Structure 1
Amino acid sequence: MTLKTTKLRDAISFAIAVGTLAGSGAVFAQDSTAADQEGASELDRVTVTGSRIRRAEVETSQPIFQLNREEIQAQGLTSVGDVIQNISANGSALNSTFNNGGNGETRVSLRNLGSNRTLVLVNGRRWVGGTGLGGAVDLNTIPTAAVERIEVLKAGASSIYGSDAIAGVVNVILRTDYQGAEANAYLGAFDKGDGFRQSYDLTIGTSDDRFSAMFGAGYVKEEPVMAGDREISAEPVFGTGVSFGSSTTPFGRFALCRGTVNPISGRCSIAETRPNGTGGQFTYNPGQTGNNWRNFAIPGDLYNYAPDNYLLTPQERKSIFGRATLNLTDDVSAFIQATYNNRRSEQLLAAMPIVLGSGPGAGVQARTISISQFSIYNPFGAPVSRIQRRAVETGGRSFNQNVDTFGFSGGLEGSFERWNRYFTWDAGMVYGRNDQNDTTYGLFNILALRNALGPSEIRNGVPVCVTQPGGTVITGCVPLNLLGAPGSITPEMLNYSSFVAHDEFGYKMKQYFANLTGELFELPGGMLAFAAGVERRTESGFDQPDALISSGNTTGNARTATNGAYSLQEAYGELSIPLLKDVPFAKQLELSLSSRYSDYSNFGDTTNSAFGFKWRPIDDLMVRGNWAEGFRAPSIDELFAGVADSFPQIADPCSTTFGGGYNGLTPEQQARCHAQGVPVGGYDQGNSQIRISVGGNPNLGPETSTTKTLGMVWSPRFVPGTFDVSLDWWRIELENVITTFGGQFILDQCIEQGIQAFCNQYTRFSGGAVNNLLSSGVNIGAGNVEGWDLTMNYRLPEQSWGKLSFSWDTTYQSLAEYDNDGDGDIDADDGGSIVGEYQDRDNNWRIRSNLMTRWEKGDFGATWFTRYYSRQEEACPFNYNDYGFGELCNDATVDANGVVQPGSQNHIGATTYHDVSVYWKAPWNAKVTLGVNNVFDKQPPVSYTTFANSFDPQYEVPGQFFYIQYNQKF
């Protein structure tokens, strides 16, 4: 198409010629080989993340941080998700270090407000949500090889983009209009010889005056690191041996019932005993003379499951991507873009715990199973009513994902001139789909276990299952021996009693859009510009678990199906209002206004608006500020999720083991335990993990927010070279937050605080153990977060020794307070700000800071990337019991009465990582890069409350990581 000659074009051409610095909050205009956003015209039109208005000046009133392709590659990472997680404004989010609780996804959580409150765009368009159905985007579904740059808007933008843009926006810009060919190869591994990674990609493109096309393909493979191969993760809690191991061991933990087993609860009518008649449990002991059993002992018999887990999970990704543009006329062009990404990933956990009968945590169906006294493998003459046996013969529980992600966008874009004004438009559709198939190995079929542990006999020299002694043979059934040493479960037994689970997930998004932008009339500061548009979007998702999992007939977590959808229609408008220009104390004064109306099929409508200003009192200084309303619509998972099992670590206040605090309760609190059926003196919880149920709530409404920012950008011309610094204050206030209270919180609020509403959410068995506990979301929470962003960029004048530049990006968080007691507001009872506290497995760093130093001279260059995480404190989990390993927590605190409480906190030290790379540009148009990440082998700080590990997954896996990259242009 032909761009009309206007002042706007001249200004854009000038901006392209002189360039701008990303650190000032600006976005670089790109040349013919760089990416432009999907909504923009092809010729010299600039659209900035956070605005739909195409403008000449790329600085807006909102703070924007950018990483270009060279800066991305200089980090030596193979996943765009890992790059984004390194951004200083990111908090805690899923990545490949999440093994227990992960699903292969990598997400981003700006301001630590949750990945579902950060909007992810690709080329300025909403990207399809992950198959977790929580609305959050899996960054690993974006082809890494296709990425040109990443822009991060550190402010709310619901008035521009709609739902989810509460904490900010991550806009991943893909490569377009590439001319030529380029190939890249990458190899890397840890100094321990594990975690090998390889990546290869190829991009080719061509263009002329009418047609341009680009195609690329990429392949990435990341191999695992085992937890047992790093000291910090080789035991359940670092420094405690097996003290926090599992009581479900490869040798088993059992008890006999000399009375009658309840067919519903699995409980014995009298106290369970060992084979010698004493009360308690026993375990298999092959060294025992005579009967191969002895008393089960804690902690000596606890099982160290940690070495059997992945510490860093493996992935394999294959991708193709392409874009084509055809000029239909001088003023209209058609575009089409398509991406495909396949991810295969795995998580590996220790072998399946078979917990049946009165075993703690047994599911509804599992409770009804005991080992029959007529089993050929039961030598005790009485039913085994408590069964805990780790089936190491399976080789572990392997969770495998195969995810196909399709992305498509296409449409028309053009320009026209009316009333001596220039306008551009675009219209089209976006389609995204995630199809996921999960395969899980190492699970057991409850129905098969019931048969295999029931009566059995030897007939014709072959062990068979029978309906009753002397009864009918159960066809195909193989009797199961859980009472022997590891290896007693034979392959034939496994073939009958275990099963392979096949689950299916899907998420689909379809969006139609039409946008118009241009200039309306002249104001004292310039032309008033506008953007307006309409959108219609539908989203749907499903989770279809394996039939056995859905029925609950499995030793793993049971869950029922999820299926739901919603649609919405939206309209938005945006104005850029230049009030003053080139007058005293106002080289520029510009206002921005925007508003979006959204009508949802499931909860109704909402309108969200924003206001911003940009003021330049002098050429070198810009002051900017914003006020914005935001919202987040409830996700399909939050609305429609079926009921599922969860096994979180819980310290029941009524228990005397596994961190339970019965002995520390007041008489009034203990009385609440007794009223629920807990025996006087408390009870043995039996396992640190307790089964609870979680599910969706179709009556949820949207979360709402208000974002405020105020900042400045200073670019002093008297400093040699190019220097700029931006400082922005931000505050986000959330209301109607969808909150799902965890099992620990529910129990604590009931027993310790006496709030009956939480007591109504669960029941107990007669012995005191928690029975049914249901947790689902409600619109009741609130939160306030506040802080500062500082970004400095300095490019020194070129010297004889080369060119040197610095980019320093820092986030300082001053406030993070939330409604912790469930009353819907934030007050003194909620405990105040948690900045600097590691809480609920979330990092609340006061400071995250990144410094990138780059040197270049001729064909050589080097990058030094420094990442800093400030210190945190966490509550010590060892208050109630002396486990015999000494005092691990040694940070004292002072309680409300002024009494010093020694060892009541654990100090998580400040951590700094250094990544170094050097490159050489070869004469044959190639570039070779060598790098070491974590060059000083910094160990992650120990945390004692992190789930399933002893350090938080946001810190680096221990070890130096060496890599080599090769780039060849043709």
Structure 2
Amino acid sequence: MNHRNMRTAMRVGMLPAGIAIALAPAFAFAQEGGEQQATTLDRIEVTGSRIKRADVETSQPIFTLSRAEIQKQGVTSVADVLQRISSNGAALNTTVNNGGDGSAGISLRNLGEGRTLVLVNGRRWTQGLGGSVDLNTIPAAMIERVEVLKDGASTIYGSDAIAGVVNIITRSNFEGAEAGAYLGQYSQGDGNREAYDFTIGTGNDRGNVMIGASYVKEEAVMAGDRQISAGGPPFFGGQSNTGIPGSFVVEGTDNVRYVIDPVTGLRTRFSGNVYGYNSAPDNYLLTPQERTSLFAQANYDITDNVRFKTEMLYNERISEQLLAAMPVTGMTLSADSYYNPTNPNGAYVDTPSFQPGGATDLIGVNRRFQESGGRSFNQNVKNWHFYGGLEGFFEIGDRSFDWDVGYRYDKSDENDLTYGLFNLANLEAAYGPSFDDNGVIRCGTPGDVIAGCVPVNPIGTTGSISPEAIAYTAFTAHDSSSVVSKSYYANVSGDIVDLPAGPLAFAAGYEHRTESGQFEPDAFIAAGLSTGNGSKPTAGAYKLDEYYLELAVPVLADMPGAKLLDFSLATRYSDFSNFGNTLNSKFGFRWKPIDDLMFRGNWSEGFRAPTINNLYAGNTDSYETYVDPCNGGGANPQAAARCANEGVPTGFQQPSSQTGEPFTWTSNPNLQPETSETRTLGFVYNPSWLEGFDISVDWYKIEIENAITRPEATFILDKCYSGTAAEQAVYCGLYSRDPSYPGSPYIITQLDMPLLNLASYEVEGYDVTLNYRLPETSFGKFSITWDTSYTSDWSVKATEDSLAEQRQGLYLQDDPYWRIKSNLYLDWSYGDFGATWGMRYKSGMDEDCVLYDEEDMTLAEAYCSDPYRVTADGAAPRNYVGAVTYHDVQVRYNTPWNATVSVGANNVFDKDPPVSYSSSYNNFDAQYDLPGAFYYVQYRQRF
């Protein structure tokens, strides 16, 4: 056996048993001339380092999930597995209907999906325009294990590795064939899921080829099919003031809103509790999707020291979100409309509501167009991935050095269709003058008919808007986007010189990467001609060159009090075409005073580069809630003086906190990267007196500066009217007033809300992981895995001068900050039988009591846990969102024909999610399991 192969074999033998078994198929040995020789060039690289090691325990905390552990959780997506881990916060998933897009991500430390780097086999994966990775693009069938690095790693991997790194390792050197099938359903009989996969591989002493396919179909659950999300007191569900029949305001009646009662025909004052529309049942609670994947991997030993490797993947996702029918608001029904209740020649002339000689027009007609069937958002996303590279080793003297070069290409194409939107021009025509032409209601006047137009009756009950009127006013939006990422790289690593405690090892490399993307909204949306918010096209690209150097420095070994002491150092230089360069470094240590105990720690710098959307996204309309600094003449003398200079009257009153005209979200091509500093300190204890037991405890602290954020409208205006001269120079050019605005002169009609490097974050906490593989008994083998994260501090500052806002233990709207997340898994096996019991815990949180009403405390007293809470700032009622523990169970059997049958249930005790009064939708947060136990069966056949 040559020098390098002996070293490779030794590394496999020195691994912990579980990982050595998992990696063993990657090494094939053949007898040749009586000498055992390795015919592959694989060596071990641990996530967080480019230096190939024999010891997988690095100075950085890593949590590993094996293929077997993933299968024991009974889910159909790797996203479902990763979102359960204790260090994950709130990330997009398929429970997010309003605001979701079918993708699913991971947000380590609750710092956002863009600050968690996702790798596949140590290389970047396809990102969206916003910088996040859709984990649904990675089929579970191709995964061997997942390594989660709970530390910053920008010095090794570059941008985005601030909160941590998820490295998904795929199966390699697979031989034989394997097929799997999965069927599942909620206890309520809905939310069906099915998944099928097939993998085949073959190889010889020089190479291996593996190909596979997978298909996953997940069906929807309607919000109306669960009590918590169906609507009703105290929430009044999705009770909307835009209901059926349509409500209206008659000119000259002090803005009193009326409806025509469908029973009496009388004009009646509108009441949301009586005439409002419960939109909740019309929404998806769990969104549906289908995923189809084809993947292939191959490697071939070109020579004894050069190997070719390649990966290819195609993934297609078809997904949908469904919202209640469009609420059409702010429309004016013409005085000459046939459906105007004051029209003496109209439809309502014979009803009690008709008032001859009354007002001759209607304003502010609000009607939910339920006849359209709802707003359906559909995505068809296709992803292509290719990697090709060479790897090998060379020798200089008696030293061996590993090298690899490669090229990566990723592309994502998305085509979206949105149904249930409306054409504003056609709506205005359909709300305009209309008349009865011998029983046919036509748009326009008898001498000037609008061809093709069908009038709308927005005052009537369900069915009053005809299918022809829907067909005339509705339109289907067509949007498209694409992202392309390309990179090529070169790495080299090896031992430089032998020191008394061991070899000084290094890794160095270069990478060139280009990112480009575009978004093309529907022409009607781009022109602001639809009932949805307007959005402009996006297009942009950037490129970068990066160089890194990593060192592993042994200091002491096999000495009293220092069985091991070594340091790791790394630095990375990144040069971006859009903002310039950045240098980030890292230092870590490992110290083993005795064989059973290892202390570890790290300090690292990190960064996150602005994304294509951050830099180049087209302007987007947004209706904002804000406070005008000129309301009442100005909050202070400085503000009052500026208001007067702008001509705003002293008695100016802001008509509404909600903008009547949309403000504009803008990108910013001058953004700089976010910067971070991460520190970790902990220990790993493997007592020799308790075989099979190990525990790790790690403290972490992450500080982020120059975080990219979008200031709120009120913040921008306050800085302009009451800020320093420097702040006024930044913010005062972002808005404009209209002195001639009808009914409200001098209101703010336009305000740009750009992205800026303003915020900062500080997150601190502890991770504890315990594993215990008990000695084998006559009752079988037992093992325990317990993984827990505790957040002691999670704070954010809107600007450098702002007060820190503490969030740990709080629930903000659709944004939970648990103090504790913990997962405990108990596993048993006996011969061909096995079972796993899992418990997933999320601690309770406090939320603002949004049911608080100072004049009527009925709802607050009935539903809020602390309705009379008072702080130094005054009344601050709160509600407690309870802790929850989910129980999962799986039993399995290995058959004599080389198959495994598994039957299980997630949330087996049908635990409901904790009610949240401030959650935007469904009355619970999307990070919790749906109500109902989920039962499944899966079958896996090996050939």
TM-score clears 0.5? yes
Code of the residue aligned with 1:730 in structure 2: it is Y
- Equivalent of 1:889 in 839, 852, 864: 864
Conserved? CA contact 2:235–2:917, under 8 Å: no
Distance change (3 Å), C-alpha of 1:199 and 1:853: same
Which of 314, 321, 326 aligns to 1:347? It is 321
Q: How far off is 1:326 after superposition? A: 1.6
The residue type equivalent to 1:98 in the other structure is V
Other structure's SS at 1:496 match: helix
User: Counterpart of 1:30?
Assistant: 23
**Corresponding residue number in structure 2 for 1:732:** 702
1:904-961 deviations in whole A, cap 9, x for unaligned? 0110111111111111111111111111111111111111222223111111111111
For normalisation by structure 1, the TM-score amounts to 0.88
User: Which aligned pairs between 1:906-945 and structure 2 lie closer than 5 A?
Assistant: 906-945=879-918
Residues 129 and 192 (structure 1 numbering): CA distance in 2 closer, same or farther, change over 3 Å? same
Q: CA deviation at 1:456?
A: 2.6
| Pairing of 1:457-472 with structure 2 (within 5 A) | 457-459=435-437, 462-466=440-444, 469-472=445-448
Q: Which amino acid aligns with 1:642?
A: G
Match of 2:866, as an amino acid? D
Equivalent of residue 338 in structure 2, options 359, 363, 376:
376
CA 1:893–1:599 in 2, change beyond 3 Å: closer, same or farther? Answer: farther
Whether the 8 Å contact between 1:654 and 1:678 is mirrored in structure 2 is: no
- Uncovered stretches (5+) of structure 1, i.e. residues with no partner: 22-26, 258-271, 358-369, 656-661
Q: 2:74 aligns with which of 70, 73, 76?
A: 76
The alpha-carbon deviation at position 758 of structure 1 amounts to: 7.5
SS at 2:410 equivalent: strand
1:796-945 equivalences under 5 Å are: 796-820=774-798, 822=799, 824-825=800-801, 829-831=803-805, 833-880=806-853, 885-887=859-861, 888-891=863-866, 895-897=870-872, 901=875, 904-945=877-918
Shift of 1:34: 9.5
Report the number of matched residues: 903
Which residue of the partner structure matches residue 705 of structure 1? 676
Q: Which stretch of structure 1 is more off in the superposition, 226-235 or 793-802?
A: 226-235
In structure 2, distance between residues paired with 1:76 and 1:41: 37
Instruction: Name the SS for the 1:30 alignment partner.
Output: helix
Q: Distance in 1 between matches of 2:217 and 2:436?
A: 50
Q: Distance in 2 between matches of 1:383 and 1:718?
A: 88
In the superposition, relative to structure 1, how do residues 471 and 843 fare at CA in structure 2: closer, same or farther (>3 Å)?
A: same
CA spacing shift, 1:287–1:76, aligned 2, 3 Å: same
**Residues 671 and 953 of structure 1: is their aligned pair in 2 closer, same or farther, counting only changes over 3 Å?**
farther
For residues 774 and 591 of structure 1, the distance between their equivalents in structure 2, rounded to whole angstroms, comes to 49
Supply the distance in 2 between the matched residues of 1:856 and 1:319 (Cα, whole angstroms).
32
User: Per the alignment, do residues 34 and 745 of structure 1 end up closer, same or farther by CA in structure 2, a change over 3 Å counting?
Assistant: farther
Match of 1:409 in 2: 387
What's the secondary structure of 2:448's corresponding residue? coil
Report the Cα distance in structure 2 between the residues aligned to 1:422 and 1:796, rounded to whole angstroms: 40
Q: Could you list the per-position Cα deviations for residues 700-732 of structure 1 after superposition, in whole angstroms to 9, with x for gaps in the alignment?
A: 11000000111111100101x311111111111
- Structure 1 pair 435/622, CA: closer, same or farther in 2 (3 Å)? same
Distance 1:684 1:743, change over 3 A: closer
1:361 maps to which residue?
A: none
Aligned to 1:560: 536
Residues in 2 aligned to 1:57 and 1:51: alpha-carbon distance in whole angstroms: 12
Residues 166-245 of structure 1: pairs in structure 2 closer than 5 A: 166-235=162-231, 239-241=234-236, 245=239
User: 2 CA distance for matches of 1:745 and 1:904?
Assistant: 25
Q: Please, which of 532, 538, 556 is the counterpart of residue 514 of structure 2?
A: 538
Counterpart of 1:203 in 2: which secondary structure? strand
Residue 399 of structure 1 contacts residue 438 of structure 1 at CA under 8 Å; is this kept in 2? yes
**How do 1:302-701 residues align onto structure 2 when only pairs under 5 Å count?**
302-357=276-331, 370-381=332-343, 382-459=360-437, 462-466=440-444, 469-647=445-623, 650=625, 692-701=663-672
Q: Which residue of 1 aligns with 2:114?
A: 116
Residues 186 and 802 of structure 1, relative CA distance in 2, 3 Å threshold: same
1:247 Cα shift? 1.2
TM-score, normalised relative to structure 2: 0.90
Call closer, same or farther: CA 1:177–1:953 in 2, change over 3 Å. same
Give unmatched runs, 5+ long, in structure 2.
29-37, 344-359
Residue 959 of structure 1: aligned partner: 932
- Deviation, structure 1 residue 286: 1.8
- The CA deviation at 1:139 is 0.7
Cα–Cα, structure 1 residues 873 and 810, in superposed 2: closer, same or farther, change >3 Å? same
Aligned-residue offset at 1:174: 1.3
Counterpart residue number, 1:19: 17
For residues 140-163 of structure 1, the C-alpha deviation after alignment (integer angstroms, 9 at most, x for no partner) is 111222111111000000000000
Q: CA 1:29–1:890 in 2, change beyond 3 Å: closer, same or farther?
A: closer
Partner residue of 2:772 out of 790, 794, 801? 794
Q: Is the 8 A contact 1:762 1:774 kept in 2?
A: no
Taking the aligned partners of 2:39 and 2:218, their CA distance within structure 1 comes to 38
8 Å Cα contact 1:915-1:931 kept in structure 2: yes
- 1:77 and 1:13, CA in 2 relative to 1: closer, same or farther beyond 3 A? closer
Change (3 A) 1:851 1:210: same
- My pick for the range that moved more, 785-794 or 244-253, is 244-253
Residue in 1 aligned with 2:159?
163
Identity %: 50
**Match for residue 948 of structure 1?**
921
Q: Aligned AA for 2:337?
A: S
Of the three residues 59, 63, 66, the one matched with 1:65 is: 63
Letter in 1 for 2:283: N
Alignment partners' CA distance in 1, 2:927 and 2:680: 27
Provide the C-alpha distance between the structure 1 equivalents of 2:300 and 2:809, rounded to a whole number of angstroms: 54
Q: Is the 8 A contact 1:28 1:58 kept in 2?
A: no
Cα offset, 1:667, TM superposition: 11
The equivalent of 1:300 in structure 2 is 274
Question: Separation in 2 of the partners of 1:13 and 1:28?
Answer: 9
- What is the Cα deviation at residue 879 of structure 1? 3.7
Q: Secondary structure at the match of 2:24?
A: coil
CA–CA separation in structure 1 for the residues paired with 2:26 and 2:247: 65
Q: Deviations over 1:40-96 (max 9, x none)?
A: 995451000001111111111100000001111111111111111001000011001
Name the CA distance, whole Å, in 1 between partners of 2:3 and 2:588: 30
Give SS of 1:31's match: helix
Change (3 A) 1:608 1:3: farther
Please name the residue that 2:349 is paired with: none
Give, in whole Å, the separation in 2 of the partners of 1:584 and 1:885: 68
Q: For each residue in 1:739-773, what CA deviation from the matched residue of structure 2 results, as whole angstroms up to 9, or x when unmatched?
A: 11345766899999999887965769655987544
Per mean C-alpha deviation after superposition, the further-off stretch among 602-611 and 443-452 is 443-452
Counterpart contact for 1:34–1:175, Cα < 8 Å: no
Larger mean Cα displacement after TM superposition, 636-645 or 728-737: 636-645
The answer to whether structure 1 residue 128 and structure 2 residue 104 are counterparts is no
User: Cα gap change, 1:205/1:839 in structure 2, threshold over 3 Å: closer, same or farther?
Assistant: same
Q: Secondary structure at the match of 1:12?
A: helix
Distance 1:672 1:391, change over 3 A: farther
Letter in 2 for 1:375: S
SS in 1 for 2:79: helix
Amino acid at match of 1:321: F
Alpha-carbon distance between aligned partners in 1 of 2:678 and 2:552, rounded to the nearest angstrom: 19
Decide whether aligned partners of structure 1 residues 279 and 705 sit closer, same or farther in structure 2, where only a CA change above 3 A counts: closer
Q: Structure 1 stretch 912-921 or stretch 374-383: which is displaced more?
A: 374-383
- Which stretch of the first structure deviates more once superposed, 390-399 or 579-588? 579-588
Q: What's the secondary structure of 2:201's corresponding residue?
A: strand
Distance 1:3 1:101 in 2: 58
CA separation in 2, counterparts of 1:601 and 1:686? 40
Shift of 1:504: 0.1
Q: Secondary structure at the match of 2:80?
A: helix
Pair 512,631 (structure 1): closer, same or farther in 2 beyond 3 Å: same
Supply the RMSD in Å over aligned alpha carbons: 3.1
| 2:667 partner letter | G
Contact kept? 1:12, 1:55, Cα under 8 Å: yes
